[in-house]
Amino acid sequence: MNRPTVSFHHPALRRIRRIAFLLDNSIPIPLTRFRIGLDPILGLIPGGGDVAGAILSAYIVFEAARIGLPKEVLVQMLSNLLADTALGSLPVIGDLFDATWKANSRNFALIEAHAERLPFQQKPNHGFMLLLTLLLILFVVAVGAIAFFTTTSILKLITHSSS
């Protein structure tokens, strides 16, 4: 008996595809073939922009876990997200990194590479999902704390150097 597999038309894959496109490739750069998304633009917002981008990127990883991607692939996706968020949090340079690294598109490519071979899971592993959720929450809180610290440090430097 054949087990149903995750289709490329599965609602979760459609959502992930849309979010990855929106974050990484939705805005064409005039007179070039290069595209950026909202992720590097969000990163320009002091403090909260990187947190918002991390939350949306974390959702992609969470959905990938829900449809049953192997843990090894999820770890690879998390490392893409970690690199994107850590390096993307650097002022200016990080936004250039976000525009070229495109972690969400990389993660969607990993999902596509494995989706057709996945048995569709009606019930995900609840223990693993809880652990992943806690790790993603901790990750977003850490990004928020780092963004807050960086923003306040820069503001202190600016205000003390101008007096």
Q: Which residue has the tokens 């690199």?
A: 83
Q: Which residue has the higher pLDDT, 95 or 28?
A: 28
Q: Are strands 27-28 and 35-36 parallel, antiparallel or unpaired?
A: antiparallel
Q: Which residue has the higher pLDDT, 145 or 117?
A: 145
Is residue 62 within 8 A of residue 132, CB to CB? The reply is yes
Please check the confidence at residue 26 and state whether its pLDDT lies above 90.
yes
What are the domain boundaries of the chain?
11-161
Angle at 133 between CA 37 and CA 83, to 5 degrees: 45
Write down the pTM of the prediction: 0.79
Give pLDDT tens digits for 124-148: 677 877 888 888 888 878 877 887 8
Which amino acid is located at 7 in the chain?
S
